[in-house]
Structures are given as C-alpha cells and as structure tokens.
Amino acid sequence: MTNSPILLDGLGEWRNLGTLTPTYGNWLRFPQPAEQGFTTFRVTFTGDWYRGGWHWIYLREIYRGGSIDNEGKWVKVYPSESPKIVYLNTSDEFNYLNPQRSFEVLKAHKYIRTYGGRFNDKVFSVKLEEFSPYPELMAQAQEQTLKEQVIRAIAEEVIRRLPPPPS
C-alpha cells in the first residue's frame, strides 16, 4: 500500500467502482465489478473519519461465475486525507477461470468510545477505483515481456547445448 497515486495518473485511467458508506458487521458490495483484471486500486475516504476513534476498513475480493462463488484476499486500509493505492492480485486458483471480480468493504475499529452512553460512530464514505493502464503502455509491457521470454528461451537452449562439466 502506498500514498502516491499521482505517479500512476499519467500512465492510465481510474475507473470508478463506486462509493459506499461502510458499516460494522455488514460487508457491502461496490456496485461495479472490476473489468480489467489488473491489480492496482485507489481507495479514497471522505467524511468525518478523522475525528476521535481508531477506524479502518477491510477490503476484500469476491469471485462469482460458473461454479465459483468465493471470497478472495482482503486487506486492511486505514483512512487518510490522501487517496491510498492498494494492490490486490487475482488469486491463482481463480486466474484461469476468469470469473467476475467484485469487491466488498467492512468498517472496523480498535475500540468503541462512548460519550454519555452513546456510541461515537464516525460516518465516512469509501470510493474504490480500478487502475487501467493506457493501451500503448500495455503494448509496450507485452512487447517487453515477449522479449524477455525469447531471451530466456535462447539462454535455456544455449545452456542445454553446453557440454557437461568435466567430472
């Protein structure tokens, strides 16, 4: 997790997956599923999360499709004034099945403060965005990956053809 989303802004676009007001004890699903299959997401907090209380959220993946109906990885994200970048890789077990990938959020706290017997709940919203690199950058990355694969294959073939070391 990092606090430098500006570095990514020139490399692609942020697709809004929705804004929710998380609650305790109830996972809420963001209205839009992730479409790109990438791993980089931006989380933005708005509201009064910053006054009195130790609140955070859990963000988790949900996989749906075919015979799949599973929860994936989750991360703990603390609110901040600036957006946070979160990296969530698609679980290997689901990667080849290409299921729909959605996200859910849950609010949590370290302890509950009460004032005069009243629970001091902080109401805040969480916006989740999926990073999508520009197509020309994707083409460059794929070309670089292809070059690396060719170089690796050539090196492996050269090593295979070398005479065995003397005993």
What's at 43, amino acid-wise? V
Does 148 map to a domain?
no
Q: Residues 45, 79: contact at Cβ < 8 Å?
A: yes
pLDDT at 24 over 80: yes
Does 161 map to a domain?
no
Does 59 map to a domain?
yes
Does 157 map to a domain?
no
Give the residue numbers spanning the domain of 115: 6-133
26-50 pLDDT, tens digit per residue, is 999 999 998 876 788 999 999 876 6
Does 118 map to a domain?
yes
Q: How many domains does the chain have?
A: 1
Report yes or no on whether pTM surpasses 0.85: no
CATH number of the domain where residue 122 is located: 2.60.120.1380
Give the CA distances from residue 56 to residues 24, 25, 88, 112, in Å, rounded to whole numbers and listed in that order. Answer: 10, 13, 17, 13
pLDDT class for 4, splitting at 50, 70, 90?
A: very low
Q: How far apart are CA 33 and CA 130, in angstroms?
A: 9
Backbone angles phi, psi at 53, to 5 degrees: 135, 150
Does 151 map to a domain?
no
